[in-house]
A and B are shown apart, each in its own frame.
Chain A
Amino acid sequence: MATQQARTLGRLMLSPTIILLFVWMIVPLAMTIYFSALNYNLLNPGMENFAGLDNYYYFLTDPAFLAAFRNTLVLVGSVLAITVVFGILIALLLDQPILGRNVVRLMVIGPFFIMPTVSALVWKNLLMHPVSGLFAWIATSLGLEPIDWFAEAPMFAIILIVSWQWLPFATLILLTALQSLDAEQREAAEMDGARSLSTFLYITLPHLARPITVVILIETIFLLSVFADIFVTTGGGPGLQTTNIAFLIYSQALMHYDVGTASAGGLVAVVVANILAFFLVRIVGRNLEA
Protein backbone atom coordinates (compact mmCIF):
# COMPACT_ATOMS: atom_id res chain seq x y z
CA MET A 1 0.00 0.00 0.00
CA ALA A 2 2.67 2.46 1.04
CA THR A 3 4.76 3.38 -1.95
CA GLN A 4 8.53 3.14 -1.96
CA GLN A 5 8.64 6.93 -2.00
CA ALA A 6 6.47 7.15 1.10
CA ARG A 7 8.60 4.58 2.88
CA THR A 8 11.82 6.45 2.20
CA LEU A 9 10.23 9.69 3.29
CA GLY A 10 8.97 7.98 6.44
CA ARG A 11 12.46 6.86 7.35
CA LEU A 12 13.85 10.33 6.76
CA MET A 13 11.20 11.83 9.01
CA LEU A 14 11.88 9.35 11.76
CA SER A 15 15.64 9.67 11.78
CA PRO A 16 16.08 13.02 13.62
CA THR A 17 14.15 11.66 16.61
CA ILE A 18 16.12 8.43 16.66
CA ILE A 19 19.50 10.10 16.26
CA LEU A 20 18.78 12.71 18.95
CA LEU A 21 17.46 10.21 21.46
CA PHE A 22 20.33 7.84 20.74
CA VAL A 23 22.92 10.54 21.36
CA TRP A 24 21.02 11.78 24.42
CA MET A 25 21.05 8.28 25.85
CA ILE A 26 24.48 7.01 24.83
CA VAL A 27 26.86 9.97 25.22
CA PRO A 28 26.09 10.89 28.85
CA LEU A 29 25.80 7.23 29.82
CA ALA A 30 29.18 6.40 28.29
CA MET A 31 30.68 9.40 30.10
CA THR A 32 29.12 8.26 33.38
CA ILE A 33 30.65 4.82 32.94
CA TYR A 34 34.02 6.34 32.06
CA PHE A 35 34.03 8.78 35.00
CA SER A 36 32.96 6.03 37.36
CA ALA A 37 36.29 4.29 36.71
CA LEU A 38 38.34 7.39 37.53
CA ASN A 39 39.58 9.15 40.61
CA TYR A 40 38.22 12.51 39.56
CA ASN A 41 37.55 15.45 41.78
CA LEU A 42 36.65 18.85 40.33
CA LEU A 43 38.73 20.51 43.04
CA ASN A 44 41.89 18.79 41.75
CA PRO A 45 41.63 19.17 37.99
CA GLY A 46 44.25 17.33 35.95
CA MET A 47 44.78 14.76 38.71
CA GLU A 48 42.45 12.13 37.25
CA ASN A 49 43.71 8.56 37.27
CA PHE A 50 42.29 5.12 36.73
CA ALA A 51 40.50 3.75 39.77
CA GLY A 52 39.06 0.49 38.52
CA LEU A 53 36.06 -0.45 40.62
CA ASP A 54 37.15 1.57 43.66
CA ASN A 55 34.42 4.16 43.22
CA TYR A 56 31.77 1.46 43.24
CA TYR A 57 33.38 -0.03 46.31
CA TYR A 58 33.40 3.36 48.09
CA PHE A 59 29.88 4.25 47.03
CA LEU A 60 28.32 0.90 47.87
CA THR A 61 30.11 0.44 51.23
CA ASP A 62 29.62 4.06 52.35
CA PRO A 63 27.18 4.05 55.28
CA ALA A 64 25.52 7.02 53.56
CA PHE A 65 24.63 4.75 50.64
CA LEU A 66 22.96 2.21 52.92
CA ALA A 67 21.01 5.00 54.61
CA ALA A 68 20.07 6.53 51.26
CA PHE A 69 19.08 3.16 49.88
CA ARG A 70 16.84 2.48 52.87
CA ASN A 71 15.35 5.96 52.66
CA THR A 72 14.65 5.52 48.96
CA LEU A 73 12.88 2.23 49.62
CA VAL A 74 10.84 3.73 52.46
CA LEU A 75 9.92 6.80 50.43
CA VAL A 76 8.99 4.95 47.24
CA GLY A 77 7.21 2.12 49.10
CA SER A 78 5.16 4.39 51.35
CA VAL A 79 4.14 6.79 48.63
CA LEU A 80 3.13 3.88 46.40
CA ALA A 81 1.07 2.28 49.17
CA ILE A 82 -0.64 5.55 50.08
CA THR A 83 -1.39 6.67 46.53
CA VAL A 84 -2.60 3.27 45.31
CA VAL A 85 -4.84 2.53 48.31
CA PHE A 86 -6.34 6.01 48.52
CA GLY A 87 -6.36 6.25 44.74
CA ILE A 88 -8.58 3.16 44.52
CA LEU A 89 -10.88 4.43 47.26
CA ILE A 90 -11.24 7.91 45.78
CA ALA A 91 -11.68 6.53 42.25
CA LEU A 92 -14.46 4.23 43.52
CA LEU A 93 -16.07 7.21 45.22
CA LEU A 94 -15.86 9.44 42.14
CA ASP A 95 -17.32 6.63 40.04
CA GLN A 96 -20.60 6.92 42.02
CA PRO A 97 -23.44 9.21 40.94
CA ILE A 98 -22.27 12.57 42.27
CA LEU A 99 -23.67 16.07 41.94
CA GLY A 100 -21.00 18.39 40.57
CA ARG A 101 -18.67 15.56 39.67
CA ASN A 102 -16.63 17.72 37.30
CA VAL A 103 -15.85 20.28 39.97
CA VAL A 104 -14.80 17.55 42.41
CA ARG A 105 -12.63 16.03 39.69
CA LEU A 106 -10.91 19.37 39.14
CA MET A 107 -10.22 19.76 42.85
CA VAL A 108 -8.79 16.24 43.12
CA ILE A 109 -6.54 16.63 40.08
CA GLY A 110 -5.23 20.03 41.22
CA PRO A 111 -2.06 19.02 43.11
CA PHE A 112 -0.68 17.28 40.06
CA PHE A 113 -0.18 20.61 38.30
CA ILE A 114 1.71 22.28 41.13
CA MET A 115 5.45 22.56 40.64
CA PRO A 116 7.32 20.52 43.27
CA THR A 117 9.16 23.49 44.74
CA VAL A 118 5.85 25.26 45.38
CA SER A 119 4.10 22.29 46.97
CA ALA A 120 7.06 21.44 49.18
CA LEU A 121 7.43 25.01 50.47
CA VAL A 122 3.71 25.58 50.96
CA TRP A 123 3.43 22.36 52.97
CA LYS A 124 6.58 23.05 54.94
CA ASN A 125 5.74 26.63 55.87
CA LEU A 126 2.00 27.22 55.75
CA LEU A 127 0.86 23.79 56.94
CA MET A 128 3.64 22.02 58.82
CA HIS A 129 5.39 24.88 60.60
CA PRO A 130 5.58 23.89 64.29
CA VAL A 131 4.39 27.28 65.60
CA SER A 132 2.42 29.14 62.96
CA GLY A 133 1.44 26.30 60.66
CA LEU A 134 -2.15 25.25 60.21
CA PHE A 135 -1.50 21.72 61.50
CA ALA A 136 0.02 23.13 64.69
CA TRP A 137 -3.11 25.23 65.21
CA ILE A 138 -5.35 22.20 64.64
CA ALA A 139 -3.30 20.14 67.08
CA THR A 140 -3.40 22.87 69.72
CA SER A 141 -7.15 23.35 69.29
CA LEU A 142 -7.62 19.64 69.91
CA GLY A 143 -5.48 19.91 73.01
CA LEU A 144 -2.56 18.04 71.46
CA GLU A 145 1.11 18.90 71.33
CA PRO A 146 1.98 20.34 67.88
CA ILE A 147 4.44 18.21 65.96
CA ASP A 148 7.68 19.70 64.68
CA TRP A 149 7.36 17.72 61.46
CA PHE A 150 10.76 18.29 59.92
CA ALA A 151 12.62 17.68 63.19
CA GLU A 152 10.66 14.78 64.64
CA ALA A 153 9.41 12.93 61.57
CA PRO A 154 11.23 14.40 58.56
CA MET A 155 10.81 11.37 56.33
CA PHE A 156 7.13 11.12 57.14
CA ALA A 157 6.72 14.78 56.24
CA ILE A 158 8.38 14.24 52.87
CA ILE A 159 6.23 11.14 52.28
CA LEU A 160 3.08 13.18 52.99
CA ILE A 161 4.06 15.94 50.56
CA VAL A 162 5.08 13.58 47.76
CA SER A 163 1.96 11.44 48.25
CA TRP A 164 -0.18 14.55 47.95
CA GLN A 165 1.50 15.33 44.62
CA TRP A 166 1.03 11.83 43.21
CA LEU A 167 -2.39 10.90 44.57
CA PRO A 168 -4.16 12.72 41.69
CA PHE A 169 -2.17 10.74 39.14
CA ALA A 170 -3.17 7.38 40.65
CA THR A 171 -6.78 8.48 41.14
CA LEU A 172 -7.18 9.78 37.62
CA ILE A 173 -5.79 6.66 35.95
CA LEU A 174 -7.78 4.29 38.16
CA LEU A 175 -10.93 6.33 37.61
CA THR A 176 -10.44 6.17 33.85
CA ALA A 177 -10.00 2.40 34.10
CA LEU A 178 -13.10 2.04 36.31
CA GLN A 179 -15.22 3.97 33.86
CA SER A 180 -14.27 1.53 31.12
CA LEU A 181 -15.47 -1.39 33.24
CA ASP A 182 -18.60 -2.74 31.73
CA ALA A 183 -21.58 -1.61 33.78
CA GLU A 184 -23.54 -4.62 32.58
CA GLN A 185 -20.99 -6.97 34.01
CA ARG A 186 -21.29 -5.37 37.40
CA GLU A 187 -25.07 -5.29 37.30
CA ALA A 188 -25.16 -8.94 36.33
CA ALA A 189 -23.05 -9.77 39.35
CA GLU A 190 -25.35 -7.75 41.59
CA MET A 191 -28.42 -9.47 40.15
CA ASP A 192 -26.84 -12.77 40.99
CA GLY A 193 -26.88 -11.54 44.55
CA ALA A 194 -23.22 -10.76 44.84
CA ARG A 195 -22.54 -8.40 47.71
CA SER A 196 -20.76 -5.17 46.89
CA LEU A 197 -17.62 -6.45 48.61
CA SER A 198 -17.46 -9.55 46.47
CA THR A 199 -18.31 -7.55 43.34
CA PHE A 200 -15.33 -5.41 44.23
CA LEU A 201 -13.02 -8.34 44.99
CA TYR A 202 -13.92 -10.56 42.05
CA ILE A 203 -14.85 -8.12 39.29
CA THR A 204 -13.56 -4.61 39.94
CA LEU A 205 -10.18 -5.44 41.44
CA PRO A 206 -9.11 -7.89 38.71
CA HIS A 207 -10.15 -5.30 36.15
CA LEU A 208 -7.93 -2.77 37.92
CA ALA A 209 -4.92 -5.06 38.12
CA ARG A 210 -3.30 -3.77 34.97
CA PRO A 211 -3.87 -0.06 35.54
CA ILE A 212 -2.58 -0.50 39.10
CA THR A 213 0.57 -2.11 37.72
CA VAL A 214 1.01 0.77 35.30
CA VAL A 215 0.53 3.31 38.11
CA ILE A 216 3.07 1.50 40.28
CA LEU A 217 5.69 1.29 37.54
CA ILE A 218 5.36 4.86 36.29
CA GLU A 219 5.23 6.33 39.79
CA THR A 220 8.27 4.28 40.81
CA ILE A 221 10.30 5.68 37.94
CA PHE A 222 9.49 9.24 39.01
CA LEU A 223 9.67 8.54 42.75
CA LEU A 224 13.16 7.04 42.51
CA SER A 225 14.40 10.48 41.58
CA VAL A 226 12.41 12.68 43.97
CA PHE A 227 14.71 15.64 44.36
CA ALA A 228 13.16 19.10 44.49
CA ASP A 229 10.98 18.33 47.52
CA ILE A 230 14.03 17.28 49.54
CA PHE A 231 16.18 20.06 48.13
CA VAL A 232 13.90 22.87 49.35
CA THR A 233 12.71 21.37 52.65
CA THR A 234 15.32 19.33 54.51
CA GLY A 235 18.40 19.34 52.29
CA GLY A 236 18.67 15.62 53.03
CA GLY A 237 18.76 16.09 56.82
CA PRO A 238 18.64 16.06 59.71
CA GLY A 239 21.78 13.95 59.36
CA LEU A 240 21.01 11.58 56.53
CA GLN A 241 17.39 11.00 57.54
CA THR A 242 15.85 12.24 54.30
CA THR A 243 18.74 11.65 51.88
CA ASN A 244 17.63 9.41 49.06
CA ILE A 245 19.89 8.03 46.33
CA ALA A 246 19.15 10.91 43.97
CA PHE A 247 19.99 13.49 46.61
CA LEU A 248 23.12 11.56 47.68
CA ILE A 249 24.46 11.55 44.11
CA TYR A 250 23.67 15.25 43.80
CA SER A 251 25.58 16.05 46.97
CA GLN A 252 28.56 13.88 45.94
CA ALA A 253 28.73 15.61 42.59
CA LEU A 254 27.81 19.24 43.15
CA MET A 255 28.67 19.68 46.84
CA HIS A 256 31.75 17.45 47.22
CA TYR A 257 32.78 17.70 43.56
CA ASP A 258 33.57 13.99 43.60
CA VAL A 259 32.80 13.12 40.00
CA GLY A 260 34.05 9.53 40.21
CA THR A 261 31.92 8.41 43.12
CA ALA A 262 28.88 10.35 41.93
CA SER A 263 29.13 8.65 38.54
CA ALA A 264 29.35 5.22 40.15
CA GLY A 265 26.22 6.12 42.13
CA GLY A 266 24.53 7.39 39.00
CA LEU A 267 25.15 4.08 37.31
CA VAL A 268 23.67 2.22 40.27
CA ALA A 269 20.53 4.38 39.89
CA VAL A 270 20.41 3.63 36.16
CA VAL A 271 20.60 -0.12 36.78
CA VAL A 272 17.79 -0.02 39.36
CA ALA A 273 15.58 2.08 37.08
CA ASN A 274 16.23 -0.19 34.13
CA ILE A 275 15.09 -3.29 35.97
CA LEU A 276 11.76 -1.55 36.55
CA ALA A 277 11.66 -0.11 33.06
CA PHE A 278 11.99 -3.60 31.63
CA PHE A 279 8.67 -4.61 33.16
CA LEU A 280 6.91 -1.39 32.16
CA VAL A 281 8.06 -1.68 28.56
CA ARG A 282 6.79 -5.25 28.43
CA ILE A 283 3.36 -4.25 29.71
CA VAL A 284 3.06 -1.36 27.28
CA GLY A 285 4.36 -3.53 24.45
CA ARG A 286 1.70 -6.15 25.02
CA ASN A 287 -0.92 -3.46 24.52
CA LEU A 288 0.55 -2.08 21.32
CA GLU A 289 -0.47 -3.14 17.86
CA ALA A 290 1.88 -1.16 15.69
Chain B
Amino acid sequence: MARRVAVAHTVTATVAAWIVGFVIFFPILWMAITSFKTELEAFNTPPSFLLFQWTTENYATVQERSNYLHHAPNSIIIAGGSTLVAMVIAIPAAWSMAFVPSRRTRDILLWILSTKMMPAVGVLVPIYLIFRDLALLDSRIGLLCILCLSNLPIVVWMLFTYFKEIPKDILEASRMDGATIGRELVYVLTPMAVPGIASTILLNVILAWNEAFWTLNLSTSEAAPLTVFIASYSSPEGLFWAKLSAASTLAIAPILVLGWFTQRQLVRGLTFGAVK
Protein backbone atom coordinates (compact mmCIF):
# COMPACT_ATOMS: atom_id res chain seq x y z
CA MET B 1 0.00 0.00 0.00
CA ALA B 2 2.62 2.51 1.13
CA ARG B 3 4.80 1.25 -1.69
CA ARG B 4 2.09 1.85 -4.26
CA VAL B 5 1.62 5.39 -2.96
CA ALA B 6 5.35 5.96 -3.30
CA VAL B 7 5.35 4.67 -6.88
CA ALA B 8 2.40 6.87 -7.80
CA HIS B 9 4.19 9.82 -6.21
CA THR B 10 7.35 9.18 -8.21
CA VAL B 11 5.42 8.85 -11.45
CA THR B 12 3.48 12.09 -10.89
CA ALA B 13 6.59 14.00 -9.85
CA THR B 14 8.56 12.64 -12.80
CA VAL B 15 5.90 13.56 -15.36
CA ALA B 16 5.45 17.05 -13.86
CA ALA B 17 9.20 17.67 -13.67
CA TRP B 18 9.77 16.60 -17.28
CA ILE B 19 6.95 18.86 -18.48
CA VAL B 20 8.35 21.83 -16.54
CA GLY B 21 11.87 21.13 -17.77
CA PHE B 22 10.69 20.83 -21.36
CA VAL B 23 8.71 24.09 -21.23
CA ILE B 24 11.67 26.01 -19.79
CA PHE B 25 14.10 24.52 -22.28
CA PHE B 26 11.74 24.84 -25.24
CA PRO B 27 12.86 28.29 -26.54
CA ILE B 28 16.43 26.97 -26.84
CA LEU B 29 15.26 23.81 -28.57
CA TRP B 30 13.01 25.79 -30.91
CA MET B 31 15.91 28.05 -31.85
CA ALA B 32 18.08 25.04 -32.62
CA ILE B 33 15.34 23.49 -34.78
CA THR B 34 14.70 26.77 -36.61
CA SER B 35 18.38 27.01 -37.46
CA PHE B 36 17.94 23.97 -39.72
CA LYS B 37 15.00 25.43 -41.65
CA THR B 38 15.02 27.53 -44.80
CA GLU B 39 14.12 31.20 -44.27
CA LEU B 40 10.76 30.56 -45.92
CA GLU B 41 10.05 27.57 -43.71
CA ALA B 42 11.00 29.56 -40.60
CA PHE B 43 8.20 32.05 -41.27
CA ASN B 44 5.59 29.41 -42.13
CA THR B 45 2.37 29.11 -40.20
CA PRO B 46 1.43 26.57 -39.02
CA PRO B 47 5.04 25.97 -38.01
CA SER B 48 6.53 22.57 -38.66
CA PHE B 49 8.19 20.99 -35.69
CA LEU B 50 10.25 18.14 -37.03
CA LEU B 51 8.79 17.24 -40.42
CA PHE B 52 10.48 19.64 -42.77
CA GLN B 53 13.40 19.58 -45.15
CA TRP B 54 16.36 19.84 -42.77
CA THR B 55 19.15 21.96 -44.17
CA THR B 56 22.51 23.16 -42.92
CA GLU B 57 22.72 25.98 -45.43
CA ASN B 58 22.21 28.60 -42.69
CA TYR B 59 25.32 27.48 -40.94
CA ALA B 60 27.24 27.66 -44.18
CA THR B 61 25.89 31.14 -44.87
CA VAL B 62 26.62 32.36 -41.37
CA GLN B 63 30.17 31.07 -41.66
CA GLU B 64 30.78 32.45 -45.15
CA ARG B 65 28.94 35.67 -45.58
CA SER B 66 28.31 37.18 -42.23
CA ASN B 67 31.32 37.74 -40.07
CA TYR B 68 30.77 34.96 -37.61
CA LEU B 69 34.36 33.90 -37.96
CA HIS B 70 35.45 37.42 -37.21
CA HIS B 71 33.39 37.76 -34.02
CA ALA B 72 33.82 34.31 -32.50
CA PRO B 73 37.58 34.78 -32.01
CA ASN B 74 36.84 38.14 -30.37
CA SER B 75 34.58 36.39 -27.87
CA ILE B 76 37.22 33.77 -27.21
CA ILE B 77 40.00 36.35 -26.77
CA ILE B 78 37.94 38.65 -24.57
CA ALA B 79 36.31 35.97 -22.39
CA GLY B 80 39.39 33.77 -22.16
CA GLY B 81 41.87 36.62 -21.79
CA SER B 82 39.94 38.50 -19.14
CA THR B 83 39.55 35.29 -17.15
CA LEU B 84 43.23 34.40 -17.36
CA VAL B 85 44.40 37.86 -16.31
CA ALA B 86 41.89 37.85 -13.46
CA MET B 87 43.20 34.46 -12.31
CA VAL B 88 46.80 35.68 -12.31
CA ILE B 89 45.82 38.62 -10.11
CA ALA B 90 43.34 36.76 -7.93
CA ILE B 91 45.09 33.47 -7.11
CA PRO B 92 47.82 35.10 -4.97
CA ALA B 93 45.25 37.35 -3.30
CA ALA B 94 42.90 34.49 -2.45
CA TRP B 95 45.83 32.35 -1.34
CA SER B 96 47.03 35.05 1.02
CA MET B 97 43.58 35.65 2.53
CA ALA B 98 42.93 31.94 3.00
CA PHE B 99 46.30 30.96 4.47
CA VAL B 100 47.78 34.06 6.10
CA PRO B 101 44.66 35.88 7.23
CA SER B 102 45.02 39.06 9.19
CA ARG B 103 42.58 40.90 11.42
CA ARG B 104 41.36 42.87 8.43
CA THR B 105 40.81 39.95 6.05
CA ARG B 106 37.10 39.77 6.70
CA ASP B 107 36.62 43.49 6.01
CA ILE B 108 38.74 43.28 2.88
CA LEU B 109 36.65 40.39 1.56
CA LEU B 110 33.42 42.26 2.17
CA TRP B 111 34.86 45.38 0.57
CA ILE B 112 35.84 43.35 -2.51
CA LEU B 113 32.28 42.06 -2.66
CA SER B 114 30.89 45.58 -2.40
CA THR B 115 32.89 46.71 -5.45
CA LYS B 116 30.87 44.22 -7.49
CA MET B 117 27.69 46.01 -6.41
CA MET B 118 28.56 49.13 -8.36
CA PRO B 119 26.04 49.30 -11.22
CA ALA B 120 27.90 49.45 -14.51
CA VAL B 121 25.60 52.17 -15.78
CA GLY B 122 26.77 54.45 -12.96
CA VAL B 123 30.25 54.62 -14.42
CA LEU B 124 29.35 54.28 -18.11
CA VAL B 125 30.06 57.94 -18.89
CA PRO B 126 33.58 58.19 -17.43
CA ILE B 127 34.61 54.79 -18.78
CA TYR B 128 33.33 55.72 -22.22
CA LEU B 129 35.26 59.01 -22.16
CA ILE B 130 38.43 57.39 -20.85
CA PHE B 131 38.18 54.78 -23.60
CA ARG B 132 37.60 57.51 -26.20
CA ASP B 133 40.62 59.49 -25.05
CA LEU B 134 42.90 56.46 -24.90
CA ALA B 135 41.62 55.20 -28.27
CA LEU B 136 40.40 52.01 -26.60
CA LEU B 137 36.85 52.14 -28.01
CA ASP B 138 36.18 49.06 -30.09
CA SER B 139 39.44 47.41 -29.04
CA ARG B 140 39.82 43.88 -27.71
CA ILE B 141 42.35 44.89 -25.10
CA GLY B 142 39.99 47.52 -23.68
CA LEU B 143 37.09 45.09 -23.34
CA LEU B 144 39.43 42.48 -21.91
CA CYS B 145 40.51 44.89 -19.16
CA ILE B 146 36.97 46.02 -18.32
CA LEU B 147 35.59 42.48 -18.10
CA CYS B 148 38.60 41.40 -16.09
CA LEU B 149 38.02 44.15 -13.53
CA SER B 150 34.29 43.66 -13.37
CA ASN B 151 34.68 39.92 -12.74
CA LEU B 152 37.68 40.15 -10.44
CA PRO B 153 35.59 40.31 -7.22
CA ILE B 154 33.75 37.10 -8.13
CA VAL B 155 37.02 35.36 -9.05
CA VAL B 156 38.69 36.32 -5.76
CA TRP B 157 35.66 35.22 -3.77
CA MET B 158 35.23 31.88 -5.48
CA LEU B 159 38.91 31.05 -5.14
CA PHE B 160 38.85 32.10 -1.50
CA THR B 161 35.94 29.79 -0.66
CA TYR B 162 37.78 26.87 -2.35
CA PHE B 163 41.16 27.61 -0.76
CA LYS B 164 39.48 27.90 2.64
CA GLU B 165 38.53 24.24 2.42
CA ILE B 166 42.09 22.99 2.00
CA PRO B 167 43.12 21.58 5.40
CA LYS B 168 45.84 23.64 7.02
CA ASP B 169 47.43 20.62 8.70
CA ILE B 170 48.88 19.58 5.37
CA LEU B 171 50.66 22.91 5.09
CA GLU B 172 52.05 22.62 8.55
CA ALA B 173 53.30 19.11 7.85
CA SER B 174 55.08 20.28 4.73
CA ARG B 175 56.59 23.22 6.65
CA MET B 176 57.89 20.82 9.27
CA ASP B 177 59.56 18.96 6.46
CA GLY B 178 61.34 22.19 5.65
CA ALA B 179 59.44 23.15 2.49
CA THR B 180 59.79 26.78 1.47
CA ILE B 181 56.73 28.83 0.67
CA GLY B 182 57.48 28.56 -3.03
CA ARG B 183 57.71 24.75 -2.91
CA GLU B 184 54.65 24.61 -0.72
CA LEU B 185 52.68 26.57 -3.32
CA VAL B 186 53.78 24.47 -6.26
CA TYR B 187 53.85 20.97 -4.83
CA VAL B 188 51.31 20.95 -2.04
CA LEU B 189 48.64 23.57 -2.60
CA THR B 190 48.36 23.69 -6.35
CA PRO B 191 47.39 20.04 -6.83
CA MET B 192 44.71 20.38 -4.15
CA ALA B 193 43.43 23.64 -5.57
CA VAL B 194 43.12 22.52 -9.19
CA PRO B 195 39.41 21.58 -9.06
CA GLY B 196 38.49 24.91 -7.46
CA ILE B 197 40.61 26.86 -9.92
CA ALA B 198 39.13 24.96 -12.85
CA SER B 199 35.55 25.69 -11.89
CA THR B 200 36.36 29.32 -11.20
CA ILE B 201 37.82 29.61 -14.69
CA LEU B 202 34.78 27.96 -16.26
CA LEU B 203 32.24 30.14 -14.45
CA ASN B 204 34.08 33.29 -15.34
CA VAL B 205 34.50 32.39 -18.97
CA ILE B 206 30.72 31.92 -19.04
CA LEU B 207 30.04 35.27 -17.36
CA ALA B 208 32.47 37.11 -19.63
CA TRP B 209 31.20 35.36 -22.77
CA ASN B 210 27.63 36.46 -22.04
CA GLU B 211 28.42 39.96 -20.78
CA ALA B 212 26.30 42.37 -22.77
CA PHE B 213 26.49 45.81 -21.19
CA TRP B 214 30.10 46.81 -21.73
CA THR B 215 30.45 44.89 -24.96
CA LEU B 216 27.39 46.60 -26.48
CA ASN B 217 28.47 50.05 -25.35
CA LEU B 218 32.20 49.91 -25.99
CA SER B 219 32.51 47.96 -29.22
CA THR B 220 30.91 48.23 -32.64
CA SER B 221 32.66 46.12 -35.23
CA GLU B 222 36.40 45.49 -35.04
CA ALA B 223 36.46 44.11 -31.48
CA ALA B 224 32.78 43.18 -31.26
CA PRO B 225 32.22 39.77 -29.66
CA LEU B 226 29.26 37.49 -30.38
CA THR B 227 26.87 39.38 -28.06
CA VAL B 228 27.21 42.44 -30.31
CA PHE B 229 27.16 40.38 -33.51
CA ILE B 230 23.85 38.79 -32.50
CA ALA B 231 22.47 42.22 -31.54
CA SER B 232 22.98 43.30 -35.16
CA TYR B 233 20.12 40.94 -36.05
CA SER B 234 17.72 43.23 -34.19
CA SER B 235 17.63 45.74 -37.04
CA PRO B 236 14.64 45.30 -39.36
CA GLU B 237 16.80 44.54 -42.41
CA GLY B 238 18.54 41.81 -40.44
CA LEU B 239 15.42 39.78 -39.82
CA PHE B 240 16.52 36.44 -41.15
CA TRP B 241 15.20 34.07 -38.54
CA ALA B 242 16.88 30.93 -39.70
CA LYS B 243 20.24 32.67 -39.93
CA LEU B 244 19.65 34.41 -36.60
CA SER B 245 18.94 30.98 -35.11
CA ALA B 246 22.01 29.41 -36.66
CA ALA B 247 24.27 32.24 -35.48
CA SER B 248 22.70 32.12 -32.01
CA THR B 249 23.08 28.36 -31.76
CA LEU B 250 26.74 28.65 -32.65
CA ALA B 251 27.17 31.47 -30.13
CA ILE B 252 25.62 29.64 -27.18
CA ALA B 253 26.52 26.00 -27.84
CA PRO B 254 30.05 26.02 -26.38
CA ILE B 255 28.93 27.94 -23.30
CA LEU B 256 25.90 25.72 -22.74
CA VAL B 257 28.19 22.70 -22.67
CA LEU B 258 30.66 24.38 -20.29
CA GLY B 259 27.78 25.58 -18.15
CA TRP B 260 26.32 22.14 -17.77
CA PHE B 261 29.67 20.94 -16.47
CA THR B 262 29.93 23.71 -13.90
CA GLN B 263 26.36 23.84 -12.68
CA ARG B 264 27.23 22.24 -9.34
CA GLN B 265 29.76 24.97 -8.56
CA LEU B 266 27.54 27.71 -9.90
CA VAL B 267 25.57 28.25 -6.73
CA ARG B 268 28.64 28.79 -4.62
CA GLY B 269 30.20 31.15 -7.13
CA LEU B 270 27.12 33.27 -7.63
CA THR B 271 26.09 33.63 -4.01
CA PHE B 272 29.57 34.41 -2.67
CA GLY B 273 29.39 31.36 -0.44
CA ALA B 274 26.17 32.49 1.22
CA VAL B 275 24.37 29.34 0.02
CA LYS B 276 26.19 26.04 -0.17
Interface residues of A (CB under 8 A from B): 1-2, 5-7, 9-11, 13-14, 16-18, 20-21, 24-25, 27-29, 31-32, 35, 90, 93-94, 96-101, 103-119, 121-127, 131-132, 134, 136-137, 140-141, 164, 167-169, 172-173, 176-177, 180, 210-211, 214, 218, 221, 224-225, 227-228, 231-233, 245-246, 249-250, 253-254, 259, 262-263, 266-267, 269-270, 272-274, 276-277, 280-281, 283-285, 287-288, 290
Contacts and interface: CB of A to CB of B under 8 A. Distances in A.
Contact of A132 (B30, B44, B210, B275): B44
Given A7-B100, A259-B125, A21 B115 contact: yes
Given A108-B25, A113-B252, A125 B216 contact: no
Contacts of B136: none
Contact of A13 (B21, B96, B108, B258): B96
> Which of B21, B108, B127: most chain A CB closer than 10 A?
B21
**Secondary structure of the A side of the interface?**
helix
A131 B45 contact: yes
Contacts of B93: 13-14, 16-18
B260 to A, nearest CB: 5
B166 to A, nearest CB: 15
B259 A111 contact: no
B256 to A, nearest CB: 5
A5 B263 CA distance: 39
A99 B239 CA distance: 41
Contacts of A116: 210, 212, 227
A250 B218 CA distance: 12
A52 to B, nearest CB: 18
Nearest to A103: B21
A245 B119 CA distance: 11
B242 to A, nearest CB: 10
Interface string B115-152: 10111111111111110000000000000000001001
Contacts, number: 324
Nearest to B256: A113
Interface of B: 6, 9-10, 13-14, 16-18, 20-22, 24-25, 27-28, 30-31, 34, 42-47, 89-90, 92-93, 95-97, 99-102, 105-106, 108-110, 112-115, 117-130, 149, 152-153, 156, 172, 181, 206, 209-210, 212-213, 216-217, 226-228, 230-231, 233-234, 239, 241, 244-245, 248, 251-252, 255-256, 258-260, 263, 266-267, 270-276
A284 B110 contact: yes
A7 B122 CA distance: 37
Nearest to A267: B122
Given A136-B45, A246-B119, 14 more contacts: A6-B100, A10-B95, A24-B149, A29-B122, A93-B17, A108-B20, A108-B21, A122-B245, A137-B45, A140-B45, A214-B274, A227-B121, A228-B231, A287-B273
Contact of B100 (A10, A104, A119, A132): A10
Contacts of A245: 121
Contact of B227 (A104, A117, A126): A117
Nearest to A172: B267
**Secondary structure of the B side of the interface?**
helix
B125 A107 contact: no
Given A119-B27, A172-B263, A173-B275, A250 B210 contact: no
Contacts of B92: 13-14, 16-17
Nearest to A28: B123
Contacts of B115: 21, 24-25
11 contacts: A7-B102, A17-B89, A104-B20, A113-B256, A115-B210, A115-B226, A117-B231, A118-B251, A164-B24, A259-B125, A269-B122
Contact of B255 (A113, A124, A273): A113
Given A25-B118, A232-B234, A125 B96 contact: no
A267 B22 CA distance: 42
B100 A249 contact: no
Given A123-B27, A290-B105, A228 B227 contact: yes
